[in-house]
Structure 1
């Protein structure tokens, strides 16, 4: 137990949580926006995969990390917009269409890498480069704090900034008001002149861009190359964070950090004498437990309250 506590309480572990949580935070916030607009974005996994592959390939061939990041984020947005076309215009079920797009992205990215590089595993032979790390000259000299925050990847800082930005967008802007109205009462929103489909498509583009940022981090931040299937279910875990966070920006952010902490713990425990099968199952087991808790909380009946005192009444006395 001692070595495990030493790992969990170390500054390096806190830094790892921020780093590992980056794709979860970005993808989950993207899923939150789409869900609040009334279009479940099940294609988060596919958007991340498409962005990771596109970013690495473009950066490798162009020699520009910035161009790779921009093209990767655009690829994530385009795939999510395709979900909007299938669901909003062609009437396809959003969940089925999203799963289909995830499978499409998995196949297309693997084929693209093989067709361009002749490698079925990834783009390791292509020098793609990585997004820069952000150094904080004054803070990095502070013991503990410097280890945690200084030297984090640029996408990690963007993920940390995305949470307050999404909260501000949803609750402090006119577009956010329209977005929430469209997701909750689309007919009422349409009756007062809100362009429902335009708002939904704009939200899906933003959702896909955030998921694309998560994918770009995987192939150009955590490492500097693309590996076939490297998202490894993170898009689905991000969806779990959306609902575990009760569809609220800060709740989703904290849920995503929790899943990131589970993965970071699994990585750290892999260095100890613990069975690797048990360690690798930690993030997925936590996801199942979180979804079970969410389902239990949703189905738990509310206790009746007394009309006089407002205190929950005992059912046995009624």
Structure 2
């Protein structure tokens, strides 16, 4: 137990948590925007996977990581819009359509890599490059803190900045008010002139872009290549963070941070000769446990209100 505690309370572990939680935070915030608009974006996994593949391929062939990142984010956005077409225009069930898009992304990315590179595993033979790291000038010199925040990827800081940005968008802007109205009472929103379909498509586009940024980080931030099915269920875990965070921006951010901590702990336990089967199952077990706690809290009856006025039929 001692070595595990030493790892958990080390500055290096906190730095790893900040790095590992990046795709969870970005994808979960994207899922939050879509959910508040009334469209559950089950296709987060597919958006992340297509963005990771597109970003690595474009960066490798063009020689520009910025072009790869832009195309990757655009690919994630397009898959979210595809969900919008299937669900909002064609009337398909959002859950079934989202799962279908995830399966499509898995097969299409594997085929694209094999067709272009002749490799079924990934793009390791292609030099894709990585997005730059950012060192904060003053905070990086603070002992201990500099180890945590030093050398973090640009997308990690984008994820940190995305949390307050999404909170401001949803709670402080006119568009955010329209988006929440569309998600909660679409008929009432439509009656006052809000274009429900348009708002939902914009929400899905933003959701897909954030999920795409998460995928770009996986293939161009954490590593410099794409691996087949490298998202490994992170999109589904991010979707769990949306509900675990009670559909609130900061709650979702903290939930995603917790899932990132579980994955970082699994990596560290793997370095301590813990059985690999237990290590690989830890993030998913943490997800199930968190959702079980969330469901139990939702089912708990509301406390009785004291001092209530009795009805006329009561003595």
| TM-score, normalised by the number of residues in structure 2 | 0.97
| TM-score, normalised by the number of residues in structure 1 | 0.96
Aligned residue for 1:117? 117
Aligned residue for 1:238? 238
Aligned residue for 1:182? 182
Aligned residue for 2:48? 48
SS state at 2:21 partner:
helix
Q: 1:280-295, aligned counterparts within 5 Å? A: 280-295=280-295
SS state at 1:237 partner:
helix
Q: Report the Cα offset of residue 308 of structure 1.
A: 5.1
SS state at 1:108 partner:
helix
Distance 2:46 2:36 in 1: 20
Q: How many residues in Structure 1 have an aligned counterpart in Structure 2?
A: 309
> Unmatched 5+ residue regions in structure 2?
310-315
Q: 1:196-235, aligned counterparts within 5 Å? A: 196-235=196-235
The answer to whether the aligner puts 1:101 opposite 2:101 as a matched pair is yes
Q: What do the CA deviations read for 1:162-196 (whole angstroms, capped 9, x no partner)? A: 00000000010000000000000000000000000
Distance 2:279 2:227 in 1: 21
Aligned residue for 1:35? 35
- Moved segments of 4+, more than 3 Å: none
Over the residues paired in the alignment, what is the CA RMSD in angstroms? 0.9
Q: Report the Cα offset of residue 307 of structure 1.
A: 2.6
Aligned residue for 1:12? 12
SS state at 2:271 partner:
coil
Distance 2:205 2:298 in 1: 30
Distance 1:107 1:84 in 2: 21
Aligned residue for 1:195? 195
Aligned residue for 2:152? 152
Q: Report the Cα offset of residue 303 of structure 1.
A: 2.3
The answer to whether the aligner puts 1:173 opposite 2:173 as a matched pair is yes
